[in-house]
Structure 1
Amino acid sequence: MGFPGTWMTESESVVYRVVPKCACSTIGQIMYYSDHGAFFDGDIHDAQSGLHKWALDASQDPITRNVTAHKSFAFTCVRNPYTRVLSSFFDKICGIQRNGRRYRGNLVPLLIQKYGIEVGGEDGKQEFDQIASFRRFLLFARDTIRWRRPMDPDIHWSAQAGHVSTFIVNGGKYDKIVWTESFNDGMQNVLDSIKTPHAVKLADIPRFNESEGHGPKRAHPVEDYFDDLSMHLVREIYKRDFALFKYDFDNPGNKMPVGEIDLDEVHAKLGD
Protein backbone atom coordinates (compact mmCIF):
# COMPACT_ATOMS: atom_id res chain seq x y z
CA MET A 1 0.00 0.00 0.00
CA GLY A 2 2.91 2.38 0.62
CA PHE A 3 2.36 5.91 1.91
CA PRO A 4 -0.64 7.53 0.21
CA GLY A 5 -1.14 11.20 0.96
CA THR A 6 2.49 11.65 2.04
CA TRP A 7 4.54 14.66 0.93
CA MET A 8 8.27 15.23 1.53
CA THR A 9 10.58 18.14 0.75
CA GLU A 10 13.13 17.42 -2.00
CA SER A 11 15.87 18.13 0.54
CA GLU A 12 14.23 15.47 2.77
CA SER A 13 14.17 17.92 5.66
CA VAL A 14 10.64 16.91 6.65
CA VAL A 15 7.85 14.41 5.87
CA TYR A 16 4.15 15.30 6.08
CA ARG A 17 1.04 13.11 5.90
CA VAL A 18 -1.74 15.20 4.33
CA VAL A 19 -5.14 15.21 6.04
CA PRO A 20 -7.68 17.01 3.81
CA LYS A 21 -9.32 20.14 5.24
CA CYS A 22 -6.52 20.58 7.82
CA ALA A 23 -4.35 23.48 6.60
CA CYS A 24 -2.76 21.24 3.94
CA SER A 25 -2.42 24.07 1.36
CA THR A 26 -0.51 26.25 3.81
CA ILE A 27 1.68 23.37 5.03
CA GLY A 28 2.53 22.33 1.47
CA GLN A 29 3.52 25.91 0.57
CA ILE A 30 5.69 26.19 3.71
CA MET A 31 7.47 22.96 2.72
CA TYR A 32 7.93 24.19 -0.85
CA TYR A 33 9.23 27.57 0.34
CA SER A 34 11.64 25.96 2.80
CA ASP A 35 13.37 24.22 -0.13
CA HIS A 36 13.12 26.86 -2.86
CA GLY A 37 12.87 30.25 -1.12
CA ALA A 38 9.65 31.01 -3.02
CA PHE A 39 6.07 29.78 -2.96
CA PHE A 40 4.61 27.56 -5.65
CA ASP A 41 2.70 29.71 -8.13
CA GLY A 42 -0.78 28.21 -7.87
CA ASP A 43 -2.49 25.60 -5.70
CA ILE A 44 0.20 23.41 -4.15
CA HIS A 45 -2.01 20.38 -4.78
CA ASP A 46 -1.38 20.92 -8.51
CA ALA A 47 2.43 20.99 -8.19
CA GLN A 48 4.06 18.20 -10.19
CA SER A 49 7.62 19.08 -9.18
CA GLY A 50 9.53 20.82 -6.40
CA LEU A 51 7.97 18.59 -3.74
CA HIS A 52 7.94 14.83 -3.38
CA LYS A 53 4.39 13.45 -3.35
CA TRP A 54 3.35 9.84 -3.12
CA ALA A 55 1.01 10.39 -6.10
CA LEU A 56 4.07 11.09 -8.30
CA ASP A 57 5.74 7.83 -9.40
CA ALA A 58 9.28 9.22 -9.13
CA SER A 59 8.65 10.21 -5.49
CA GLN A 60 7.57 6.82 -4.19
CA ASP A 61 11.03 5.29 -3.75
CA PRO A 62 12.55 8.32 -1.96
CA ILE A 63 9.51 8.59 0.34
CA THR A 64 9.51 4.87 1.11
CA ARG A 65 13.25 4.82 1.89
CA ASN A 66 12.97 7.87 4.12
CA VAL A 67 9.83 6.93 6.03
CA THR A 68 10.69 3.28 6.69
CA ALA A 69 14.12 4.33 8.04
CA HIS A 70 12.56 7.33 9.87
CA LYS A 71 15.32 9.51 8.46
CA SER A 72 13.40 12.78 8.75
CA PHE A 73 11.03 14.49 11.16
CA ALA A 74 7.49 13.36 10.28
CA PHE A 75 4.25 15.12 11.18
CA THR A 76 0.60 15.54 10.31
CA CYS A 77 -2.10 18.09 11.13
CA VAL A 78 -5.65 17.52 12.43
CA ARG A 79 -8.77 19.61 13.02
CA ASN A 80 -11.88 19.61 15.17
CA PRO A 81 -14.30 17.10 13.52
CA TYR A 82 -17.27 19.46 13.86
CA THR A 83 -15.63 22.36 11.99
CA ARG A 84 -13.94 20.03 9.50
CA VAL A 85 -17.14 18.33 8.33
CA LEU A 86 -18.92 21.70 8.21
CA SER A 87 -16.11 23.13 6.09
CA SER A 88 -16.30 20.11 3.75
CA PHE A 89 -20.01 20.73 3.26
CA PHE A 90 -19.63 24.41 2.35
CA ASP A 91 -16.55 23.88 0.18
CA LYS A 92 -17.21 20.59 -1.60
CA ILE A 93 -21.01 20.33 -1.66
CA CYS A 94 -22.17 23.96 -1.88
CA GLY A 95 -19.13 25.42 -3.61
CA ILE A 96 -18.04 25.77 -7.22
CA GLN A 97 -14.56 24.26 -7.59
CA ARG A 98 -11.40 25.70 -9.17
CA ASN A 99 -12.35 24.22 -12.54
CA GLY A 100 -15.62 26.17 -12.50
CA ARG A 101 -17.71 23.05 -11.98
CA ARG A 102 -19.36 21.22 -9.11
CA TYR A 103 -17.24 18.81 -7.08
CA ARG A 104 -17.25 15.28 -8.47
CA GLY A 105 -19.64 15.99 -11.32
CA ASN A 106 -22.94 14.27 -10.53
CA LEU A 107 -22.47 14.20 -6.74
CA VAL A 108 -24.51 17.33 -5.97
CA PRO A 109 -27.48 16.38 -8.21
CA LEU A 110 -27.47 12.98 -6.47
CA LEU A 111 -27.59 14.65 -3.05
CA ILE A 112 -30.37 17.00 -4.11
CA GLN A 113 -32.39 14.07 -5.42
CA LYS A 114 -31.75 11.43 -2.75
CA TYR A 115 -31.26 13.52 0.40
CA GLY A 116 -33.20 16.71 -0.35
CA ILE A 117 -30.13 18.92 0.09
CA GLU A 118 -30.11 22.53 -1.14
CA VAL A 119 -26.83 24.18 -2.15
CA GLY A 120 -27.70 27.80 -2.92
CA GLY A 121 -28.62 27.42 -6.56
CA GLU A 122 -26.44 27.03 -9.64
CA ASP A 123 -23.74 29.39 -8.39
CA GLY A 124 -24.02 28.57 -4.67
CA LYS A 125 -24.81 32.20 -3.88
CA GLN A 126 -28.55 32.12 -3.25
CA GLU A 127 -29.95 31.88 0.26
CA PHE A 128 -31.05 28.47 1.50
CA ASP A 129 -31.63 26.67 4.79
CA GLN A 130 -28.00 25.88 5.60
CA ILE A 131 -28.77 24.03 8.83
CA ALA A 132 -31.36 21.65 7.34
CA SER A 133 -29.19 20.94 4.30
CA PHE A 134 -26.06 20.36 6.35
CA ARG A 135 -27.86 17.87 8.62
CA ARG A 136 -29.04 15.96 5.55
CA PHE A 137 -25.49 15.99 4.23
CA LEU A 138 -24.36 14.41 7.51
CA LEU A 139 -26.75 11.50 6.89
CA PHE A 140 -25.18 11.07 3.47
CA ALA A 141 -21.63 11.25 4.90
CA ARG A 142 -22.55 8.59 7.48
CA ASP A 143 -24.05 6.35 4.76
CA THR A 144 -20.86 6.58 2.67
CA ILE A 145 -18.63 5.79 5.64
CA ARG A 146 -20.78 3.12 7.28
CA TRP A 147 -22.13 1.30 4.24
CA ARG A 148 -20.12 2.75 1.33
CA ARG A 149 -23.32 3.80 -0.39
CA PRO A 150 -24.48 5.54 -2.47
CA MET A 151 -20.69 5.89 -3.02
CA ASP A 152 -17.38 5.32 -1.26
CA PRO A 153 -16.52 7.90 1.42
CA ASP A 154 -14.71 10.98 0.15
CA ILE A 155 -11.29 11.94 1.58
CA HIS A 156 -12.62 15.34 2.65
CA TRP A 157 -15.15 13.95 5.12
CA SER A 158 -13.80 10.50 5.95
CA ALA A 159 -12.37 10.26 9.48
CA GLN A 160 -8.95 11.78 10.10
CA ALA A 161 -7.85 8.69 12.03
CA GLY A 162 -8.11 6.71 8.78
CA HIS A 163 -5.76 9.10 6.96
CA VAL A 164 -3.32 9.27 9.86
CA SER A 165 -3.27 5.48 10.32
CA THR A 166 -2.05 4.45 6.84
CA PHE A 167 1.29 6.11 7.55
CA ILE A 168 1.70 4.12 10.79
CA VAL A 169 0.38 0.78 9.51
CA ASN A 170 2.89 0.80 6.64
CA GLY A 171 5.88 1.52 8.85
CA GLY A 172 5.94 5.26 9.48
CA LYS A 173 6.26 7.04 12.82
CA TYR A 174 5.06 10.54 13.66
CA ASP A 175 7.17 12.98 15.64
CA LYS A 176 4.42 15.58 15.92
CA ILE A 177 0.68 16.04 15.33
CA VAL A 178 -0.25 19.69 14.85
CA TRP A 179 -3.70 21.09 15.68
CA THR A 180 -5.11 23.40 13.00
CA GLU A 181 -6.62 25.49 15.81
CA SER A 182 -3.18 26.38 17.22
CA PHE A 183 -1.40 26.16 13.89
CA ASN A 184 1.39 28.69 14.49
CA ASP A 185 2.51 27.05 17.74
CA GLY A 186 2.47 23.55 16.26
CA MET A 187 4.10 24.49 12.96
CA GLN A 188 6.80 26.49 14.77
CA ASN A 189 7.56 23.36 16.79
CA VAL A 190 7.99 21.44 13.52
CA LEU A 191 10.26 24.15 12.04
CA ASP A 192 12.35 24.28 15.23
CA SER A 193 12.93 20.53 14.89
CA ILE A 194 14.25 20.53 11.32
CA LYS A 195 16.96 22.18 9.20
CA THR A 196 15.77 23.72 5.93
CA PRO A 197 17.72 25.18 2.97
CA HIS A 198 15.72 28.42 3.36
CA ALA A 199 14.66 29.86 6.70
CA VAL A 200 10.91 30.10 7.25
CA LYS A 201 9.54 32.99 9.28
CA LEU A 202 6.08 31.78 10.17
CA ALA A 203 4.71 35.26 10.93
CA ASP A 204 5.37 36.25 7.29
CA ILE A 205 3.67 33.21 5.73
CA PRO A 206 0.22 33.95 4.25
CA ARG A 207 -2.62 31.49 4.80
CA PHE A 208 -3.19 29.53 1.62
CA ASN A 209 -6.86 28.67 2.01
CA GLU A 210 -7.54 27.28 -1.43
CA SER A 211 -11.16 26.42 -0.60
CA GLU A 212 -12.05 29.94 0.54
CA GLY A 213 -14.60 31.61 -1.67
CA HIS A 214 -15.71 28.33 -3.29
CA GLY A 215 -19.00 28.19 -1.44
CA PRO A 216 -21.47 30.28 0.53
CA LYS A 217 -20.40 31.83 3.82
CA ARG A 218 -21.48 30.03 6.99
CA ALA A 219 -24.46 32.00 8.29
CA HIS A 220 -24.64 30.64 11.85
CA PRO A 221 -22.31 29.68 14.73
CA VAL A 222 -20.91 26.14 14.47
CA GLU A 223 -23.04 24.81 17.35
CA ASP A 224 -26.31 25.80 15.61
CA TYR A 225 -25.74 23.17 12.91
CA PHE A 226 -25.61 20.27 15.37
CA ASP A 227 -28.70 19.06 17.20
CA ASP A 228 -28.86 15.80 19.19
CA LEU A 229 -29.26 13.65 16.09
CA SER A 230 -26.40 15.27 14.19
CA MET A 231 -24.14 14.99 17.24
CA HIS A 232 -25.02 11.29 17.37
CA LEU A 233 -24.06 10.94 13.69
CA VAL A 234 -20.83 12.84 14.27
CA ARG A 235 -19.94 10.54 17.15
CA GLU A 236 -20.67 7.50 14.97
CA ILE A 237 -18.43 8.77 12.18
CA TYR A 238 -15.61 10.49 14.12
CA LYS A 239 -15.43 8.77 17.51
CA ARG A 240 -11.71 7.96 17.17
CA ASP A 241 -10.88 11.48 15.99
CA PHE A 242 -12.35 13.03 19.15
CA ALA A 243 -10.63 10.49 21.43
CA LEU A 244 -7.15 10.45 19.85
CA PHE A 245 -6.80 14.11 18.94
CA LYS A 246 -8.44 15.34 22.17
CA TYR A 247 -11.36 17.37 20.88
CA ASP A 248 -14.53 18.23 22.81
CA PHE A 249 -17.41 16.05 21.60
CA ASP A 250 -19.95 17.47 24.07
CA ASN A 251 -19.64 21.09 22.93
CA PRO A 252 -19.66 21.70 19.15
CA GLY A 253 -19.07 25.40 19.91
CA ASN A 254 -15.64 24.66 21.43
CA LYS A 255 -13.25 24.13 18.56
CA MET A 256 -10.15 23.98 20.78
CA PRO A 257 -8.59 20.71 22.01
CA VAL A 258 -9.22 19.75 25.64
CA GLY A 259 -6.07 17.68 26.30
CA GLU A 260 -2.63 16.82 24.93
CA ILE A 261 -2.24 14.32 22.10
CA ASP A 262 -0.47 11.18 23.28
CA LEU A 263 1.68 10.06 20.33
CA ASP A 264 2.25 6.62 21.88
CA GLU A 265 -1.51 6.13 22.14
CA VAL A 266 -2.00 7.25 18.51
CA HIS A 267 0.66 4.81 17.26
CA ALA A 268 -0.71 1.95 19.38
CA LYS A 269 -4.36 2.44 18.44
CA LEU A 270 -3.86 3.26 14.76
CA GLY A 271 -1.06 0.81 14.11
CA ASP A 272 -3.22 -2.34 14.05
Structure 2
Amino acid sequence: MGFPGTWMTTSESMVYRVVPKCACSTIGQIMYYTDHGQFFDGDIHDAREGLHKWAMEDSQPLISDNVRNHKSLAFTCVRNPYTRILSSFFDKIAGIQRNGQRYRGNLLPQLSQKYGINVDGDFNQIEMFRRFLLFARDTIRFRKPMDPDIHWSAQSGHISTFILNGGRYDRIFWTEQFNEGMQSVLDGTELPHPINLAEIPRFNESAGHGPKRAHPVKDFFDDLSMHLVYEIYKKDFRLFKYDFENPANKMPKGQIDLDEVHAKLGR
Protein backbone atom coordinates (compact mmCIF):
# COMPACT_ATOMS: atom_id res chain seq x y z
CA MET A 1 0.00 0.00 0.00
CA GLY A 2 2.88 2.39 0.62
CA PHE A 3 2.35 5.88 1.99
CA PRO A 4 -0.67 7.54 0.35
CA GLY A 5 -1.16 11.21 1.16
CA THR A 6 2.50 11.69 2.11
CA TRP A 7 4.56 14.69 1.01
CA MET A 8 8.31 15.19 1.47
CA THR A 9 10.60 18.13 0.81
CA THR A 10 13.05 17.63 -2.07
CA SER A 11 15.90 18.10 0.42
CA GLU A 12 14.30 15.33 2.54
CA SER A 13 14.36 17.64 5.56
CA MET A 14 10.82 16.62 6.61
CA VAL A 15 7.98 14.23 5.80
CA TYR A 16 4.30 15.18 6.17
CA ARG A 17 1.21 12.98 6.13
CA VAL A 18 -1.54 15.16 4.66
CA VAL A 19 -4.87 15.24 6.51
CA PRO A 20 -7.48 17.08 4.41
CA LYS A 21 -9.09 20.17 5.98
CA CYS A 22 -6.20 20.55 8.46
CA ALA A 23 -4.09 23.44 7.12
CA CYS A 24 -2.56 21.21 4.43
CA SER A 25 -2.26 24.08 1.90
CA THR A 26 -0.29 26.21 4.35
CA ILE A 27 1.92 23.31 5.45
CA GLY A 28 2.69 22.35 1.85
CA GLN A 29 3.66 25.93 1.02
CA ILE A 30 5.92 26.12 4.09
CA MET A 31 7.65 22.90 3.02
CA TYR A 32 8.09 24.26 -0.51
CA TYR A 33 9.52 27.53 0.79
CA THR A 34 12.08 25.86 3.06
CA ASP A 35 13.57 24.16 -0.01
CA HIS A 36 13.28 26.92 -2.60
CA GLY A 37 13.19 30.23 -0.71
CA GLN A 38 9.85 31.16 -2.28
CA PHE A 39 6.26 29.95 -2.22
CA PHE A 40 4.72 27.90 -5.01
CA ASP A 41 2.80 30.11 -7.42
CA GLY A 42 -0.68 28.58 -7.22
CA ASP A 43 -2.41 25.91 -5.18
CA ILE A 44 0.27 23.65 -3.68
CA HIS A 45 -1.98 20.65 -4.38
CA ASP A 46 -1.36 21.28 -8.09
CA ALA A 47 2.46 21.34 -7.76
CA ARG A 48 4.13 18.59 -9.81
CA GLU A 49 7.70 19.55 -9.00
CA GLY A 50 9.58 21.07 -6.08
CA LEU A 51 7.91 18.74 -3.59
CA HIS A 52 7.83 14.96 -3.43
CA LYS A 53 4.32 13.51 -3.29
CA TRP A 54 3.22 9.90 -3.05
CA ALA A 55 0.76 10.52 -5.89
CA MET A 56 3.75 11.07 -8.22
CA GLU A 57 5.31 7.77 -9.20
CA ASP A 58 8.90 9.04 -9.27
CA SER A 59 8.58 10.20 -5.64
CA GLN A 60 7.38 6.88 -4.25
CA PRO A 61 10.71 5.04 -3.85
CA LEU A 62 12.30 8.12 -2.26
CA ILE A 63 9.42 8.55 0.21
CA SER A 64 9.33 4.81 1.01
CA ASP A 65 13.06 4.66 1.72
CA ASN A 66 12.97 7.78 3.86
CA VAL A 67 9.93 6.80 5.92
CA ARG A 68 10.84 3.16 6.48
CA ASN A 69 14.35 4.16 7.62
CA HIS A 70 13.05 7.21 9.51
CA LYS A 71 15.63 9.47 7.89
CA SER A 72 13.70 12.70 8.46
CA LEU A 73 11.35 14.26 10.97
CA ALA A 74 7.82 13.00 10.21
CA PHE A 75 4.72 14.92 11.26
CA THR A 76 1.06 15.59 10.69
CA CYS A 77 -1.57 18.08 11.80
CA VAL A 78 -5.11 17.55 13.16
CA ARG A 79 -8.22 19.64 13.74
CA ASN A 80 -11.27 19.68 15.98
CA PRO A 81 -13.76 17.21 14.41
CA TYR A 82 -16.68 19.65 14.82
CA THR A 83 -15.02 22.47 12.88
CA ARG A 84 -13.48 20.07 10.34
CA ILE A 85 -16.81 18.50 9.30
CA LEU A 86 -18.39 21.98 9.15
CA SER A 87 -15.56 23.18 6.91
CA SER A 88 -16.05 20.16 4.66
CA PHE A 89 -19.73 21.00 4.27
CA PHE A 90 -19.22 24.68 3.41
CA ASP A 91 -16.32 23.99 1.05
CA LYS A 92 -17.24 20.72 -0.68
CA ILE A 93 -21.06 20.70 -0.56
CA ALA A 94 -22.19 24.34 -0.43
CA GLY A 95 -19.23 25.77 -2.35
CA ILE A 96 -18.04 26.09 -5.93
CA GLN A 97 -14.58 24.63 -6.56
CA ARG A 98 -11.54 26.21 -8.24
CA ASN A 99 -12.63 24.85 -11.61
CA GLY A 100 -15.98 26.65 -11.33
CA GLN A 101 -17.86 23.38 -10.82
CA ARG A 102 -19.58 21.69 -7.91
CA TYR A 103 -17.43 19.19 -6.05
CA ARG A 104 -17.54 15.70 -7.57
CA GLY A 105 -19.96 16.75 -10.29
CA ASN A 106 -23.10 14.70 -9.71
CA LEU A 107 -22.76 14.49 -5.92
CA LEU A 108 -25.13 17.35 -5.11
CA PRO A 109 -28.07 16.06 -7.20
CA GLN A 110 -27.63 12.71 -5.44
CA LEU A 111 -27.67 14.41 -2.03
CA SER A 112 -30.73 16.42 -3.01
CA GLN A 113 -32.62 13.31 -4.07
CA LYS A 114 -31.66 11.03 -1.17
CA TYR A 115 -31.18 13.45 1.74
CA GLY A 116 -33.14 16.57 0.73
CA ILE A 117 -30.01 18.74 0.72
CA ASN A 118 -30.45 22.03 -1.14
CA VAL A 119 -27.70 24.67 -0.96
CA ASP A 120 -29.02 27.12 -3.54
CA GLY A 121 -29.49 30.78 -2.63
CA ASP A 122 -30.13 31.76 0.98
CA PHE A 123 -30.56 28.22 2.31
CA ASN A 124 -31.03 27.09 5.91
CA GLN A 125 -27.43 26.35 6.84
CA ILE A 126 -28.14 24.46 10.07
CA GLU A 127 -30.82 22.23 8.59
CA MET A 128 -28.82 21.39 5.46
CA PHE A 129 -25.62 20.75 7.42
CA ARG A 130 -27.41 18.28 9.69
CA ARG A 131 -28.71 16.41 6.66
CA PHE A 132 -25.17 16.35 5.25
CA LEU A 133 -23.94 14.97 8.57
CA LEU A 134 -26.32 12.04 8.23
CA PHE A 135 -24.98 11.43 4.71
CA ALA A 136 -21.36 11.62 5.93
CA ARG A 137 -22.16 9.09 8.68
CA ASP A 138 -23.73 6.73 6.13
CA THR A 139 -20.68 6.89 3.87
CA ILE A 140 -18.30 6.18 6.76
CA ARG A 141 -20.29 3.52 8.63
CA PHE A 142 -22.02 1.76 5.73
CA ARG A 143 -20.08 2.96 2.64
CA LYS A 144 -23.45 3.97 1.15
CA PRO A 145 -24.53 5.67 -1.04
CA MET A 146 -20.77 6.00 -1.76
CA ASP A 147 -17.39 5.42 -0.16
CA PRO A 148 -16.38 8.11 2.35
CA ASP A 149 -14.64 11.14 0.90
CA ILE A 150 -11.14 12.05 2.15
CA HIS A 151 -12.39 15.45 3.32
CA TRP A 152 -14.78 14.02 5.89
CA SER A 153 -13.37 10.57 6.64
CA ALA A 154 -11.81 10.31 10.12
CA GLN A 155 -8.40 11.86 10.70
CA SER A 156 -7.30 8.74 12.56
CA GLY A 157 -7.90 6.74 9.36
CA HIS A 158 -5.61 8.99 7.33
CA ILE A 159 -2.96 9.03 10.02
CA SER A 160 -3.01 5.27 10.59
CA THR A 161 -1.92 4.32 7.05
CA PHE A 162 1.47 5.94 7.67
CA ILE A 163 1.96 3.88 10.85
CA LEU A 164 0.60 0.60 9.50
CA ASN A 165 3.03 0.67 6.58
CA GLY A 166 6.12 1.27 8.67
CA GLY A 167 6.23 4.99 9.47
CA ARG A 168 6.51 6.74 12.82
CA TYR A 169 5.49 10.31 13.66
CA ASP A 170 7.81 12.64 15.55
CA ARG A 171 5.19 15.39 15.87
CA ILE A 172 1.41 15.64 15.70
CA PHE A 173 0.10 19.14 16.32
CA TRP A 174 -3.22 20.99 16.25
CA THR A 175 -4.37 23.52 13.65
CA GLU A 176 -5.77 25.49 16.60
CA GLN A 177 -2.18 26.08 17.79
CA PHE A 178 -0.66 26.09 14.34
CA ASN A 179 2.35 28.38 14.76
CA GLU A 180 3.57 26.64 17.92
CA GLY A 181 3.15 23.20 16.36
CA MET A 182 4.70 24.03 13.01
CA GLN A 183 7.59 25.83 14.72
CA SER A 184 8.36 22.65 16.69
CA VAL A 185 8.66 20.83 13.34
CA LEU A 186 10.93 23.51 11.87
CA ASP A 187 13.09 23.55 15.01
CA GLY A 188 13.66 19.81 14.62
CA THR A 189 14.97 20.04 11.04
CA GLU A 190 17.87 21.56 9.14
CA LEU A 191 16.37 23.85 6.52
CA PRO A 192 18.00 25.15 3.32
CA HIS A 193 15.84 28.29 3.68
CA PRO A 194 14.63 29.35 7.16
CA ILE A 195 11.10 30.75 7.36
CA ASN A 196 9.40 33.13 9.80
CA LEU A 197 5.94 31.74 10.54
CA ALA A 198 4.72 35.06 11.95
CA GLU A 199 5.16 36.70 8.57
CA ILE A 200 3.75 34.18 6.11
CA PRO A 201 0.27 34.40 4.58
CA ARG A 202 -2.34 31.75 5.28
CA PHE A 203 -2.84 29.62 2.21
CA ASN A 204 -6.46 28.64 2.77
CA GLU A 205 -7.30 27.28 -0.66
CA SER A 206 -10.91 26.56 0.31
CA ALA A 207 -11.59 30.12 1.48
CA GLY A 208 -14.21 31.76 -0.68
CA HIS A 209 -15.40 28.47 -2.18
CA GLY A 210 -18.59 28.42 -0.16
CA PRO A 211 -21.03 30.74 1.60
CA LYS A 212 -19.98 32.40 4.82
CA ARG A 213 -20.99 30.51 7.94
CA ALA A 214 -23.89 32.46 9.46
CA HIS A 215 -23.95 30.90 12.96
CA PRO A 216 -21.50 29.94 15.71
CA VAL A 217 -20.20 26.36 15.54
CA LYS A 218 -22.25 25.19 18.53
CA ASP A 219 -25.55 26.14 16.85
CA PHE A 220 -25.05 23.50 14.15
CA PHE A 221 -24.90 20.62 16.64
CA ASP A 222 -27.96 19.53 18.59
CA ASP A 223 -27.98 16.35 20.68
CA LEU A 224 -28.54 14.07 17.68
CA SER A 225 -25.84 15.81 15.62
CA MET A 226 -23.37 15.45 18.48
CA HIS A 227 -24.21 11.75 18.69
CA LEU A 228 -23.55 11.32 14.96
CA VAL A 229 -20.26 13.22 15.18
CA TYR A 230 -19.12 11.04 18.07
CA GLU A 231 -20.16 7.89 16.21
CA ILE A 232 -17.99 8.92 13.26
CA TYR A 233 -15.03 10.56 15.03
CA LYS A 234 -14.75 8.86 18.42
CA LYS A 235 -11.07 7.96 17.87
CA ASP A 236 -10.26 11.50 16.72
CA PHE A 237 -11.73 13.02 19.89
CA ARG A 238 -9.93 10.55 22.14
CA LEU A 239 -6.50 10.40 20.51
CA PHE A 240 -6.15 14.09 19.70
CA LYS A 241 -7.71 15.25 23.00
CA TYR A 242 -10.60 17.33 21.70
CA ASP A 243 -13.70 18.22 23.72
CA PHE A 244 -16.68 16.16 22.54
CA GLU A 245 -19.01 17.54 25.23
CA ASN A 246 -18.78 21.15 24.07
CA PRO A 247 -18.88 21.97 20.32
CA ALA A 248 -18.18 25.62 21.21
CA ASN A 249 -14.72 24.68 22.53
CA LYS A 250 -12.45 24.14 19.56
CA MET A 251 -9.31 23.85 21.69
CA PRO A 252 -7.82 20.51 22.85
CA LYS A 253 -8.15 19.54 26.50
CA GLY A 254 -4.85 17.68 26.90
CA GLN A 255 -1.59 16.74 25.24
CA ILE A 256 -1.38 14.23 22.38
CA ASP A 257 0.40 11.05 23.49
CA LEU A 258 2.43 9.87 20.49
CA ASP A 259 2.97 6.42 21.98
CA GLU A 260 -0.80 6.02 22.43
CA VAL A 261 -1.43 7.13 18.84
CA HIS A 262 1.09 4.61 17.46
CA ALA A 263 -0.22 1.81 19.68
CA LYS A 264 -3.90 2.33 18.84
CA LEU A 265 -3.55 3.18 15.14
CA GLY A 266 -0.80 0.67 14.39
CA ARG A 267 -2.89 -2.44 14.99
- TM-based fold match above 0.5: yes
Aligned match of 1:138? 133
* 1:238 partner letter: Y
CA distance in 2, matches of 1:178, 1:189: 9
Matched, 1:185 2:184: no
Aligned match of 1:77? 77
Deviation at 1:144, TM superposition (A): 0.3
Aligned match of 1:216? 211
Give the alignment of 1:1-272 within 5 angstroms: 1-119=1-119, 121=120, 126-272=121-267
CA distance in 1, matches of 2:153, 2:50: 28
Gapped regions of structure 1 (runs ≥ 5): none
CA distance in 2, matches of 1:85, 1:112: 19
Please state whether the residue corresponding to 1:74 is helix, strand or coil: strand
Please state whether the residue corresponding to 1:48 is helix, strand or coil: coil
Aligned residue pairs: how many? 267
Deviation track 1:146-205 (CA, whole Å, cap 9, x = no partner) reads: 110100000000000000000000000000001000000000111111011001111111
Please state whether the residue corresponding to 1:26 is helix, strand or coil: helix
CA distance in 2, matches of 1:202, 1:93: 31
Gapped regions of structure 2 (runs ≥ 5): none
CA distance in 1, matches of 2:58, 2:103: 28
TM normalised by structure 2 equals: 1.00
* 2:186 partner letter: L
Question: How large is the Cα RMSD of the aligned pairs?
Answer: 0.4
Deviation at 1:260, TM superposition (A): 0.2
Deviation at 1:112, TM superposition (A): 1.0
Aligned residues: percent identity? 78
CA distance in 1, matches of 2:152, 2:23: 14
Please state whether the residue corresponding to 1:58 is helix, strand or coil: helix
Deviation track 1:92-145 (CA, whole Å, cap 9, x = no partner) reads: 0000000000000000111111101121x2xxxx21100000000000000000
Deviation track 1:194-244 (CA, whole Å, cap 9, x = no partner) reads: 011001111111100000000000000000000000000000000000000
Runs in 1 of length 4+ with deviation above 3 angstroms? none
CA distance in 2, matches of 1:268, 1:256: 24
